[in-house]
Amino acid sequence: MTARWVRSWPGVALVLLAVAGTAAGCRDEVDPFVPGDPPDRARGARWRLTYSVEDDRAPVWGPDGETVYYHRPGSGALPPDRGVLMSVPYRGGTASRALPEVQRASGTRRWLVTPAPAPDGERIAFAAVSLPYDLVPCEAADVVTICDPTDWIPAVPMARKVDIHVRRFGANRPVEDDPGLALPVPGRSFDRSDAPGLLQGTWVVEDHPFQKVWREEGTLFFRPSWSPDGERLAVSDGLVIRIWEPAAGEARVLPGSEEGISPAWSPDGEWIAFSRLQRIAPVSTRCIGLWNGILVCSKRQTDWSVGSRTLVLVRPDGSEVRELGPGEEPAWGPAGETVYYRREGRVWRVGVDGAEPEPIPGSEGGREPAVSPDGRWLAFSRLAPEEGQHDVWVMAAGGAEGAP
Amino acid sequence: MSGPACRVSAGARRTRVARPAVLLPAVAAAVLAAALPAAAQTTGSVRGRVVDEETGGPLSSATVEVLDAGIRTLTDDEGRFVLAAVPAGPRTLRFELIGYRSHEMEGLHVRGGRTVEVEVSLRSAPVPVEGVVAEVDRVPLIEPEISATHEVVVGDELEELPVDAIEGAVELTPGVSGGHFRGGRVGQEVYVIDGLELKNRLEASTQGAVMEVSPTSLEELEVTTGGFGAEYGSALSGVVSYVTRRGNRHRWRARASLLTDQWAPDALFTGFSGLSASAGGPVPFLGEDATLFADVLAQGMVDSDPRARGLACLRPGDVREPLAGEIRRVREDRALSSLHCPYTPERLPHQRGEKLIGFLRFDRSLFGSADLTATLLTNRVQRELYTPEFKYHREHQLGQRSKGALATVTVDWNRHLRGSAWHVTLRAAAMRLDRYLGVVDPSTFDGRARVAGFGLGDFRFVGEDFVRSPIDEQLDAGTGVPGYAAPGGATGSPFGPAAEGIFFTEGTPTLANRTRSEFVGSDLVAEYYSADGHVVRGGVSGKLHRAESYERVLAHLPGSAPNYALFYPGVASGFLEVRLAALEDVTVNLGGRVEAFRPGLTFRRDRSDFLAPEVDTDWELTVMPRIGVSAPVPGTEGRTAFRFNYGLVSQPPDFRFFLDTTLGDSLRTDIRRQGNPELTFEEATAYELGVSHVLTPGLAAGVTFFRKDLTNLVTGSLSFSETAPGQFTTGDFGTVQGAELTLRGRWPGLRIRAGYALQKAEGVASTAFDPVDTLATDGSSERVEFPLAFDRRHSADIAVFVGRAAGDPGWGWGAAVTSTVQSGFPLDRELAAGEIDGRLSVDAYLPWTWTVDVRLSRELGTLPGCGGCRWRAVVDGRNILGRENVIALRRETGEVGPSIARVRALAARESGVATPIPFESPEYSARIDFDSDGRITAGELRDARFAAALDRLDPSLFYGEPRQVRIGLEVTFR
């Protein structure tokens, strides 16, 4: 027997609408598995951003204040390069290659370090380090080296060339086509005027302080730093700061920046901070190499010890120089009034007005500080003593008192 | 009903029956059915006798007419008549003779290829009076004149059955189980649509039926498992014959139904929506008596292959120790436990799919007594294929799309004389079946238009254009298939980097495969019917095929080349069969069939010698005599009948077997590959003996004993000693024997069909080192007999129709309940596909399986606003008791779970992941950083890989269908 309600049009319409509505696919398809975001490890006033067993170095903030760039040796899923430019969310998460087109997973054997995103956020400057010298002059098998003084210890290979590049994010052209500045690193030359015996000349090796700190402490003396207008870069060849305009291709020496390394341009454009290495106690050595009694090589070498490391401010035109006291690896606060820097194995800060420097609580073991654009956070690399490698950390710019 | 009547005389003698007292005296009719052993036709015949009701004397020159069919004849001097070319379905016969009251016999169900026998008594009437109308029942309980073992399901019953596809109705035939007919391999059956033989000759053994038809487009379905007529070739085990509906000549009729489980609770929801609609009626503008019938079936599925346990994971109870202990360890470890069953939705993911079947039939008179029929059947079945290793891949999945189209044109000509009739049928047909298996393009599902859960567009596949481009261009390109990439990935799954090499979350599946099978063909069948029961039939048939096969298993590799073959096989056949009513009540069918095929391949017999001349394949020929005898047992007044059949049956091997097996041939650069084009017919000698008995007027039972001696079976053989490794051979042989019991019951408001089959299928197989061709019969080489892979010992089925579903219009509701029960196959099912991996021992069977399906309907009366429309509510339930059927087992354990060695081997697979993995690494996953120290250590990775291996070996696909409930509405317009 037919129910009364279905005889009425409203009932019919209701049933038909229900059938049509449900059959039209109100229910969802099977959702695929979603792995979810990595957990937020940013807790409290200080957190660790990278956990790799590799040396994570030179953190720097992107202009958006959300991303921290750094470099590390490639391993695992990364290209097996000696230096890979990376980016990672500042609150923690998955790091990725900053320039995947340049550093492909298949491996490019590049050694890219010290990322420096431009203020416009569209470009990035970085340094491409050439491989160190693979041979020390007059040091070879079957060569007998005779030196004066005789207790001289041969030097290890040194940096020889650094290329500074500026590249637009996402560009596909070869790195070599990007604007670049070649920085021959002082330290080795060949003196043809000094040609003992039948030799053509003498090798001249100068182990400058910047070579020593680079070799022994990993100090990134050539670190590029953008001017606030994004038109110029301050870089160091180890002996002097140079101002380079990528668009013009020219680089000029910055007066007053002798022995300056690791420059940092202030956000207001008024100053360039750098650290000056004092060179002391030079030791000169002369060596010759004999092979089966035959003179095959001649070398003059000068080694300097590193004295004090002074934090210095200089006007971009070199018109004024101001010393702020001991320190190195400077970074600017966003207002251009404060300089954060490394000193005595931790991060300090000092006002450009000559205020008393103060250590940042919780920054023990930290170096290479970088302040976020909003001034709230401080990224730095920190040595994991048990591993002998650095990781990147983030902490409150004012310090993380009591942080482990 | 008033006036004279006729009644069903199921199992009655063909001679005039004694009329019960309840019958009105004016007219009596006995309706019997007789036929040649089986029939491949869309029309049947009616034979009978017209007598004077009072005297019993024959009435000569009485007119007998099939209404609405334009077929009529006159009785001969002995009152006998025969009508040929009668369209299948319920028909009305009119008997007229001057001086007698006319008589109409309604509801006479004519079946394709069958002869319905009637006997009518007319009452004299001195003056013209109104005629009488009588109704008859449809299918008799037993059919003493039929020697074949068969099952018939008429169209109305098909509409009531709880099935989504016609295969579900075929499965309800005794001896048919899981697509296997009487212990035969899948593909040993042939499908016949309106008399046209259809078989997926390229890959029937793996793909089954060539084209799918909608149950609502059928007038009748007949499944024959024994005693095939000579008309049938290319079948060792079964014949499935469809007779399609045609439009009514006088008025339009239509029906539509929508079934969906969108309303079901989540546990029952599989995302099924099915729309079925059909309409048929006159189209006078296309010709006098022209009719059209159209049917469409569209099904959309979120999970197109749902499983009883959904996306399952291994539980301790699924496996033996020590693996069970390891699973418990994972589950109970606080850190590891989250990696046990990390993703188990109730439906399988990546299983979207659709089915669309369209059918169109046009009929009209041509000239004289000739009729034209044209049909078009189209199929599109497409779905994603769930593969556990890609379970966590968010983009790329394997999928398959099959598209087919079959067009036929048939001309029927008949001529009726007094006491005899001729019927000649000429058919022409063309078919294309295209199957593509590859990586589904994710854009297929972007903003896809869907109606009732059914997606309108074709699946798109990655690189399909390239795969379909000329093979020479592909080789010249020297690339992999565009869009394909090596599968890999170390992220995206719950196991993070521990999944690398176990699950793939990047890249694509590597398979690109397509086949295309086409034919054009024609056949001619001529029949002669005599009123005294003799029938002679003969015919010839020929088909030219085009077979194309493309397979590229490492499609991402630039250096790989596809296996490709394009060839043109041919098939021809002829038959002659005679039905002799030699002795009273005894029907003898004698037939013979000649069949031939030619692979159409040229090949080098010695493939190690590339300079060897190429050889053309020859025609293979086989001759098959067939004999069938049936008769009522004397003294039983037609209540008991026996039948006997003997015959040779054979089929050409799948064209696929002409090509190489898949063993080690994937990277060959010889693209015109060939396997063994010299394969010959697979053959069998079949015997059967059956007895049927009417227990009560509403109940009949039958038993059939059968045996098949199989020879020339196609099997894969790793023949190392010869020059052609990995070939198929036709060297195996075996036997299938068994018994089938059937039960038929019919009472007012209740019908029951039930069957049980007991069978044993054994064979002797070739092996890698001892192919059967070399097995000596002198005992020097041991023959190893083992159960054939399709040896299912027990199977039973039952279908119960109640109320309106039983054809009783007095009921407001109807119910159809079906159930199948079967024992399991031998464990090593792949033997059936000819892939022997060198092992012969099969020492386990799969478990028993059973399901109960129900379809309930409730009449809702006249649809408001449509006076001619009736509607009803339908509830359709599958596996309503929620049985967890296990339909597959792992070979190495005989269980759904793997061995611990397998799990460990999978976990130990080289991953290339370097540890420790830091937090900031894209490979990092907090889920496997069990101590949350920001680094995944080697130990953590090892534990997680074990859990990933467990998850990878999920047993989801080892289970059968889940419980499902659909609700819907059905509207009919008459």
Q: What single string gives the DSSP state of each residue in B54-85? A: TT--B-TT-EEEETTTTEEEE--TTSEEEEEE
In angstroms, rounded to a whole number, what is the distance separating the alpha carbons of residues B612 and B609? Answer: 5
Q: Chain A partners of B922 at a C-beta cutoff of 8 Å?
A: 77, 94-96
Note the pLDDT tens digit of each residue in B168-178: 999 998 889 88
Instruction: Tell me if B494 and A8 make a contact (CB, 8 A cut-off).
Output: no
pLDDT of residue B4: 37
Instruction: Tell me if A48 and B934 make a contact (CB, 8 A cut-off).
Output: yes
Q: Chain B partners of A3 at a C-beta cutoff of 8 Å?
A: 860
Q: Chain B partners of A75 at a C-beta cutoff of 8 Å?
A: 914
pLDDT(B834) > 50: no
- Ranges of beta strands (E only) in B676-812 are 682-696, 699-717, 727-747, 750-764, 785-787, 794-803
Min Cα distance A338 → chain B (Å) is 30
Nearest CA in chain B to A76: B914
Instruction: Write the DSSP string, B291-339.
Output: EEEEEEEEEEESSSS--TTSS----GGGS-TTHHHHHHHHHH-TTTGGG
Of the candidates B271, B490, B917, the beta carbon closest to that of A27 is on B271
Which of A1-10, A296-305, B557-566, B900-909 bottoms out in mean pLDDT, i.e. has the lowest? Answer: A1-10
Note the pLDDT tens digit of each residue in B476-508: 888 899 999 999 888 889 999 999 999 999 999
A33–chain B Cβ distance below 8 A for any pair: yes
Q: Chain A partners of B492 at a C-beta cutoff of 8 Å?
A: 33, 35
Instruction: Tell me if A50 and B918 make a contact (CB, 8 A cut-off).
Output: yes
Of the candidates B262, B393, B920, the beta carbon closest to that of A94 is on B920
pLDDT(B583) > 90: no
CA-only gyration radius of chain A, Å: 28
Q: How many CB atoms lie within 10 A of CB B19?
A: 17
Instruction: Tell me if B452 and A26 make a contact (CB, 8 A cut-off).
Output: no
Which amino acid appears at position B6 of this protein?
C
pTM of the model: 0.81
pLDDT(A18) > 70: no
* Exposure letters B688-711 (e unless 16+ CB within 10 A, then b): bbbebbbeeebebbbebebbbebb
In angstroms, rounded to a whole number, what is the distance separating the alpha carbons of residues B210 and B198? Answer: 7
What is the DSSP-derived secondary structure letter of residue B6?
-
Instruction: Tell me if B350 and A24 make a contact (CB, 8 A cut-off).
Output: no
Nearest CA in chain A to B860: A2
Nearest CA in chain B to A52: B918
Stronger pLDDT, A381 or A43, i.e. the higher one = A381
Of the candidates A22, A39, A96, the beta carbon closest to that of B260 is on A22
Of the candidates A12, A19, A51, the beta carbon closest to that of B968 is on A19
Q: Chain A partners of B450 at a C-beta cutoff of 8 Å?
A: 24-25
In angstroms, rounded to a whole number, what is the distance separating the alpha carbons of residues A370 and A341? Answer: 9
Note the pLDDT tens digit of each residue in B590-625: 999 999 999 888 777 666 666 777 778 889 999 999
Closest by CA to B4, choosing from B133, B137, B136, B96, is B133
Overall average pLDDT of the B179-183 stretch: 87
Overall average pLDDT of the B454-467 stretch: 91
A52–chain B Cβ distance below 8 A for any pair: yes
pLDDT(B345) > 90: no
In angstroms, rounded to a whole number, what is the distance separating the alpha carbons of residues A69 and A80? Answer: 19
Nearest CA in chain B to A54: B918
Instruction: Tell me if B345 and A19 make a contact (CB, 8 A cut-off).
Output: no
pLDDT(B703) > 60: yes
Which residue in this structure is represented by tokens 């089966």? A292
Of the candidates B262, B302, B920, the beta carbon closest to that of A95 is on B920
Instruction: Tell me if A76 and B914 make a contact (CB, 8 A cut-off).
Output: yes
pLDDT of residue B594: 97
Q: Chain B partners of A26 at a C-beta cutoff of 8 Å?
A: 262
A10–chain B Cβ distance below 8 A for any pair: no
In angstroms, rounded to a whole number, what is the distance separating the alpha carbons of residues B145 and B116? Answer: 10
In angstroms, rounded to a whole number, what is the distance separating the alpha carbons of residues A74 and A55? Answer: 10
Overall average pLDDT of the A102-126 stretch: 90
A190–chain B Cβ distance below 8 A for any pair: no
* ipTM of this predicted structure: 0.83
Note the pLDDT tens digit of each residue in A323-364: 999 999 999 999 999 999 999 999 999 999 878 999 999 999
Nearest CA in chain A to B915: A76
Band the pLDDT of B666: cuts 50, 70, 90: very low
A50–chain B Cβ distance below 8 A for any pair: yes
* Exposure letters B328-352 (e unless 16+ CB within 10 A, then b): ebbeeeebbeebbbbbeebbbbbbb
Instruction: Tell me if A31 and B345 make a contact (CB, 8 A cut-off).
Output: yes
To test the contact with chain B by mutation, choose from A6, A14, A19, A389 the residue with the greatest count of B C-beta atoms within 10 A, namely A19
Note the pLDDT tens digit of each residue in B285-338: 998 889 999 999 999 888 988 999 889 899 998 888 999 999 999 999 988 899
What percent of chain B clears pLDDT 90, i.e. is strictly above it? 45
CB contact at 8 A, B71 and B416: yes
Min Cα distance A286 → chain B (Å) is 47
Which residue in this structure is represented by tokens 């004694």? B18
Instruction: Tell me if A2 and B925 make a contact (CB, 8 A cut-off).
Output: no
In angstroms, rounded to a whole number, what is the distance separating the alpha carbons of residues B175 and B179? Answer: 10
Q: How many CB pairs under 8 A join A and B?
A: 131
Of the candidates A9, A29, A33, the beta carbon closest to that of B343 is on A33
To test the contact with chain A by mutation, choose from B348, B506, B860, B919 the residue with the greatest count of A C-beta atoms within 10 A, namely B919
Nearest CA in chain B to A11: B864
Cis peptide bond prior to A373, omega within 30° of 0 = no
pLDDT of residue A20: 61
CA-only gyration radius of chain B, Å: 30
To test the contact with chain B by mutation, choose from A5, A9, A22, A90 the residue with the greatest count of B C-beta atoms within 10 A, namely A22
Token code pair at residue B333: 């470890």
The 3-state DSSP class for residue B444 equals: helix
Chain A residues 60-79 with a CB less than 8 Å from chain B: 75-77
To test the contact with chain B by mutation, choose from A12, A29, A30 the residue with the greatest count of B C-beta atoms within 10 A, namely A30
